Amino acid sequence: MNRTPSQFKILASENVADRRLRRTFQSATSHALGQRAQSVQLVPEWEDLRERAHRIKEEAVENLDFYLEKLEASVIRRGGRVFWARDASEASSYVVDLCRRLQASTVVKSKSMAAEEIGLTDALEAAGVEPVETDLGEFIIQVAGETPSHIIAPALHMTRQQIGSLFHEKFGIPYTDVPAELCAFARQRLRREFLSARLGISGVNFAAADTGTIAIVENEGNARLCTSLPRVHLAIMGLEKVIPRFSDLPLFLRLLARSSTGQRQTSYVSMISGPRREGEWDGPEEFHLVLLDNGRSDILADPRVRRSLYCIRCGACLNTCPIYQRVGGHSYGSVYSGPIGSVLTPLFQGLEVAKDLPFASSLCGSCSNICPVKIDLHHQLLWLREKLVSGRATPWQERLAMSLFAAGMKDPALYRMGSALLRLLLRVSGRTDRPFTVPGWSPTRDFPALAATSFKQWWEDNRQPGEGP
Amino acid sequence: MNVSLFIPCLVDQFFPSVGINLVKILRKAGVSVDYPRAQTCCGQPAFNSGYHEEAIQLARRFLEVFGEAETIVSPSGSCTSMVKVFYPEILQDPDLRRQLREVTGRTYEFSDFLVNVMGIKDLGATFPHRVTYHDACHLFRELGVHRAPRELIRHVRAIELVEMENSDACCGFGGTFSVKFPEISTAMAQDKSAAILKTEAEYVVANDSSCLMQIGGYLSRQGLPIKPLHLADLLGENL
Ligand code: SF4
């Protein structure tokens, strides 16, 4: 199932035609939006919180080098190790080498978008290490051989009946589609893995530079187990996950939980500051933090799209996006989907590969409106469109049409002449009242006919004396 | 007060009644109206497609044409937000930016202008029909205008306003998006139409001709009897 962002148009038209899939996405996203709306309503100062979070992220991103070095120092002070990974392969190699040293044949892994981004599980498998996904949604798609279709709910595209059949086929258990029973089965199966794994891998939701604390939020308890049972814990984070201060954390935890699932707080919030220390009787012996760049420095270098680094991966923009709701996460051909995916994927993978994504938006702005850290997502898409145009990545016909358009619109005489000429042509060819046929539009929608008299003409004929000019 | 009309090119060429009715409404509201004839297009089609160079040229023109205007009023939330929200993003020249700040402060979408500037909610129109109102994205989210049009509708005599579900959900137009991704755009129009149908309204009202073109184009292709209606047409035709 190797999808790429360059296939967006094909995948999206296939998926939008799949009525079952569309229903699944529309009901899941509207449920999530409902939950969110209810919980946000209870916070009258919500808009202030968004603004504050935006400012803090701005501070962190504008001074990223400073805060990352501070984070590194704090982690080391607490006995942890820090690895700066320039790209996916550096990050994966570090993890694989660690597995070799630990002689780990299996690793337990909790949910991490950064790990998804670099294809960590594939790298581990290629090195003969079995990565066990312990988040229920991730577990399901791993068993199904799928990729995540939502950054919060990876198996969003599957119905519980499909999951029931999958478990029945793959594990030979009696068919059931009762969520609690499916969950109990996965839980039992995973318990063994937790106890035997030497390495636990987790993501990071926030990393406080001043204390070196990483925070992980979840609802299943699997991340807590991944980070505490195995001998070694490795956490991987995109560079942008750093926040200046531990005291900023409560604000972000509130925004994240309410925006993503509508919870006041997630069931588990783990705060980890380094490995087990002297005198402590549990926790991992080693703690590794991988700081993943993988294109983030380049994003940072462009002030127009820099704000995309504020993202806390809450998934709200996916849920509210009318495009995502109808085409689903897999259409985007990358681990990041929806509006933030349409911004990040071209930046991470290259504009050429993902050149349809910035255009796959009606610019309705509901993403920017819902984003808990106030990223102006649709404006970021507009900047990416501009980057594509100035990089001459759009078809020549379009470029020509646009320069003609601008030339015609810049010159009122030309505009008026064009408008009169068009009407004359229509009259001569006897098509005055017939609507235009517009490629792309007309197969499903009627296009209006040109008005017999333009407003301009009407004004000339009807303006009252004294009304100028 | 003198108002300069800012008529989108789409209205000029395809829906001139919207402009004509706006003139009627403004005269009724007691302001004098002029129409700077050198105006063409605000440049949004170019801007939204990534052609900022071209859009900047048209933004400069807009400032030339409307620079001296006392008040600028447009029957489109979308074109108004192009001027008020997006011009500031693309114009870098400090002189132009200063000029722009002054001009945008005097630029309004027409329902916003009537209700919030003029304090007029009742124009004296009568329309004995059941209508529903679609919140156009740019008007609703870029300009934050959603109360004003409803106030104007509610004060129309004999009218019945029924809210649809998710009135602020996008209709799927999105400029070139509608032809670049016709399947997605149509799917959005389909869901919008379903929400409209549920209200059993005879008319779907909005303040942007482009949304109405999308919704109306889909409704009529489906043979559905609900008619798209610009708020300016609703108010102006029935004074
Ligand atoms: S861009 Fe904003 S809304 Fe979207 S996932 Fe990131 S934080 Fe959430």
**Tens-digit pLDDT profile for residues B178-230:** 999 999 999 999 999 999 999 999 999 999 999 999 999 999 999 999 999 99
pLDDT of residue A97: 98
| Domain total of chain A | 3
Q: Rounded CA gap, A364 and A295, in Å?
A: 28
pLDDT of residue A418: 81
**Tens-digit pLDDT profile for residues A378-430:** 999 999 999 999 988 788 888 888 888 888 888 888 888 888 888 887 777 77
Specify whether A6 is located in the same domain as A79: no
Residue A386 belongs to domain with CATH number: 1.10.1060
The nearest CA of chain A is from the CA of B133 a distance in Å of: 17
Query: Under an 8 A CB cutoff, do B221 and A444 touch?
Result: yes
**Tens-digit pLDDT profile for residues A54-84:** 999 999 999 999 999 999 999 999 999 999 9
pLDDT of residue A12: 96
User: What amino acid is encoded at A2 in this protein?
Assistant: N
User: If you classify domain B130-236 with CATH, what class do you get?
Assistant: alpha beta
**Tens-digit pLDDT profile for residues A433-444:** 667 789 999 999
Domain boundaries, chain B: 2-117, 130-236
**Tens-digit pLDDT profile for residues A416-426:** 888 888 888 77
Q: What is the mean pLDDT of residues A217-223?
A: 96
Query: Under an 8 A CB cutoff, do B183 and A388 touch?
Result: no
Question: Is the Cα torsion angle A419, A425, A428, A429 positive or negative in sign?
Answer: negative
Specify whether A377 is located in the same domain as A234: no
pLDDT of residue A2: 77
Beta carbons of A268 and A218 less than 8 angstroms apart: yes
Burial class (CB in 10 A: 0-12, 13-18, 19+), B202: middle
Q: Rounded CA gap, B106 and A116, in Å?
A: 49
Omega of the bond leading into A469 within 30 degrees of 0 (cis): yes
Give the domain-ending residue among A271, A294, A317: A294
Burial class (CB in 10 A: 0-12, 13-18, 19+), A228: middle
Q: Which residue of A has its CA nearest to B86?
A: A379
Residues in chain B with CB shorter than 8 Å from the CB of A445 are: 186, 189, 214, 217-218, 221
Residues in chain B with CB shorter than 8 Å from the CB of A366 are: 137, 141, 168-170
B177 vs A359, A366, A406: nearest CB? A359
Asked if residue A228 is part of any domain, the answer here is yes
State whether the beta carbon of A340 lies less than 6 angstroms from ligand 1.
yes
Distance A313 CA to ligand 1 centre (A): 5
Category of A294 on φ-ψ map: left (φ > 0), alpha (ψ -120 to 50) or beta: left
| Domain ranges, residue A415 | 400-462
What are the residue ranges of helices labelled H in B159-230?
177-180, 182-198, 209-221
Beta carbons of A54 and A376 less than 8 angstroms apart: no
State whether the beta carbon of A256 lies less than 6 angstroms from ligand 1.
no
Distance A329 CA to ligand 1 centre (A): 15
Specify whether A381 is located in the same domain as A424: no
Q: Rounded CA gap, B228 and B215, in Å?
A: 7
% chain A with pLDDT above 90: 85
Burial class (CB in 10 A: 0-12, 13-18, 19+), A193: buried
Checking if the pLDDT of A249 tops 60, the result is: yes
Q: Which residue of B has its CA nearest to A440?
A: B179
The per-residue pLDDT of chain B, averaged, comes to: 96
Asked if residue A279 is part of any domain, the answer here is yes
Specify whether A244 is located in the same domain as A100: yes
Specify whether A178 is located in the same domain as A98: yes
A444 vs B14, B37, B186: nearest CB? B186
Asked if residue A287 is part of any domain, the answer here is yes
pLDDT of residue A398: 83
**Which of A10, A19, A307, A363 is the best mutation test for B, with the most CBs of B within 10 A?**
A363
B111, B77, B72: which is closest to B236 by C-alpha? Answer: B111
3-state secondary structure (DSSP) of residue A451: coil
Specify whether A183 is located in the same domain as A320: no
pLDDT of residue A419: 81
Both tokens assigned to A300: 């940072």
Q: Which residue of B has its CA nearest to A365?
A: B141
- The reported pTM is 0.95
Burial class (CB in 10 A: 0-12, 13-18, 19+), B227: middle
State whether the beta carbon of A371 lies less than 6 angstroms from ligand 1.
yes
Specify whether A24 is located in the same domain as A94: no
Beta carbons of A379 and A362 less than 8 angstroms apart: no
Checking if the pLDDT of A1 tops 70, the result is: no
A197, A271, A204, A193: which is closest to A231 by C-alpha? Answer: A197
Sheet holding B107-109, edge to edge: B32-34, B2-5, B71-74, B107-109
Asked if residue A404 is part of any domain, the answer here is yes
Specify whether A9 is located in the same domain as A65: no
Q: Which residues pair with B228 in a beta bridge?
A: B204
Task: Decide which of A463 and A175 is more confident.
Answer: A175
Asked if residue A468 is part of any domain, the answer here is no
**Tens-digit pLDDT profile for residues A172-200:** 999 999 999 999 999 999 999 999 999 99
Query: Under an 8 A CB cutoff, do B16 and A458 touch?
Result: yes
Longest dimension (CA), chain A: 94
Give the domain-ending residue among A339, A373, A394: A394
The neighbour count for residue A27, using CB atoms within 10 Å, is: 12
Specify whether A125 is located in the same domain as A271: yes
Checking if the pLDDT of A265 tops 90, the result is: yes
Which residues of chain B register pLDDT less than 70?
A: none
Q: How confident is the model at residue A467 (pLDDT cuts 50, 70, 90)?
A: low
Task: Decide which of A279 and A371 is more confident.
Answer: A371
Question: Is the Cα torsion angle A33, A37, A43, A49 positive or negative in sign?
Answer: positive
Both tokens assigned to B17: 């009644």
Give the domain-ending residue among A367, A394, A421: A394
Specify whether A271 is located in the same domain as A414: no
Residues 6+ apart with CB under 8 A from A420: none
Protein residue closest via CA to atom 8 of ligand 1: A314
Residue of A29, A308, A375, A379 to mutate, ligand 1, most atoms within 8 A of C-beta: A375
pLDDT of residue A56: 98
pLDDT of residue A203: 98
Asked if residue A429 is part of any domain, the answer here is yes
Strands B71-74 and B32-34: unpaired
The CB-side HSE value for A323 (13 A sphere, CA atoms) comes to 35
Specify whether A118 is located in the same domain as A28: no
The nearest CA of chain B is from the CA of A378 a distance in Å of: 10
Specify whether A226 is located in the same domain as A250: yes
pLDDT of residue A466: 58
The per-residue pLDDT of chain A, averaged, comes to: 94
**Tens-digit pLDDT profile for residues A153-168:** 999 999 999 999 999 9
Residues 6+ apart with CB under 8 A from A159: A20, A24
